[in-house]
Amino acid sequence: MLCGMFGYQRIATDGKARLGRLQTPHGEVETPVFMPVGTAGSVKGVTPDQLIAAGAKMILGNTYHLMLRPGAETVARLGGLHRVMAWAGPLLTDSGGYQVFSLAHMRKLSAEGVTFQSHIDGSVVELTPARAVQVQRLLGADVIMQLDECPPGQADRDAVAAAVERSAKWARLCRDAWLEPLGKRGQATFPGAPCHSAQGKYQALFGIQQGGVYADLRAASAAELVELDLPGYAVGGVSVGEGHEALCDVLDATDGLLPGNRPRYLMGVGEPRDIIAAVTRGIDMFDCVLPTRNARNAQAFTWHGRLRLRNARHAEDAAPIDQACDCYACRHYSRGVMRHLFMAKEMLGPTLVTIHNLHFFSTFMAAIREAIAAGTLISSANAWLGAIYEGGDE
């Protein structure tokens, strides 16, 4: 176990699907797990108590946004991101690389890092691997991510190859920065490796595989990362417009490339069919804005399809979002009332649907874990996805 504070234990398997347990300084997390996204230090529209009631176990903060506003140093002075979010459970921060390449302007890349123009005030910001680690150290998350270059889904092979090479160099620099405070540069091992203490907490660094849809580039990226012997590994660059089939192809090509005794994290993926496809290919961790963003647009996830609560058909519907759901929203409010709240632009509407959607995703992941333990994942998943997608939108 890393530092006596971080580790991964595989408990059971069903094919390539893994039931596991992730140990962090802020508690254990059963995997596979879905992490709600708290971009700017808050999961939009809900309190930590509501997150816990919805079943959330681990959440994600965004390095890019917090670095620009209010600033990592400010977050540290306020007690760290756990204190800022009033969240006592496990927390992961991404490196900010995806946002640099999707939101920022006037980017200038080099082997040392990236210089970009802030989308908030136009200021010029430099983000290097060492700075990415420093920012995440100040934020104080349990799991931190390497700085990587995430090329768009339509990028050609040469561009993807360059991103793989650059991300590999940055991974090594991030590893060195992560270990440097302990004077253990270049000596990472797992389990038992040192990791840096941030605000009294320990942090584990994950590497990020890139390579787009190119199997050989994926293999080259994974090989570079595995040499670093990091506590965990992520599959990046697969939620950038490539589609479900390409996602499956990438995960098939990744099979066997990442260590089986480390957690595997698929970044930015939250569509239920994508989660199932990834779990059956050995992925343990997921994050996505889908449940919260869709909730703010009046779309609710259910086991029988999605509800679009602004539709007129729901105006006088006294049924809850889902009769089988026991979340706060379904216990206290009808579809008709929720439609009224959205049409009246009341803040309560998005909050209620966010609570429901997060509860759905937590229940969905719990069902996946139970099915892995029972050895019935494939048959169960076929039934679930048939009901979810054949139900369509109402």
How many Å apart are CA 223 and CA 65, to the nearest integer?
A: 31
Reference 45, options 297, 387, 374; nearest CA is 297
- DSSP character at residue 281: T
- Written as one string, the DSSP assignment of 232-260 is EEEE-S-SSS--HHHHHHHHHHHTTTS-T
Determine whether 216 is an active site residue.
Answer: no
Residue among 274, 284, 287, 322 flagged as catalytic = 287
Rounded alpha-carbon distances, angstroms, from residue 347 to 51, 138, 298, 301:
17, 32, 12, 19
Angle formed at CA 116 by CA 80 and CA 135, multiple of 5 degrees: 15
What is the Cα 373 distance to its own chain's centre? 23
Evaluated on CA atoms 151, 114, 80, 141, the torsion sign reads positive
Label the pairing between strands 7-14 and 299-302: unpaired
259: number of Cβ within 10 Å: 17
Determine whether 94 is an active site residue.
Answer: yes
What residues act catalytically?
94, 287
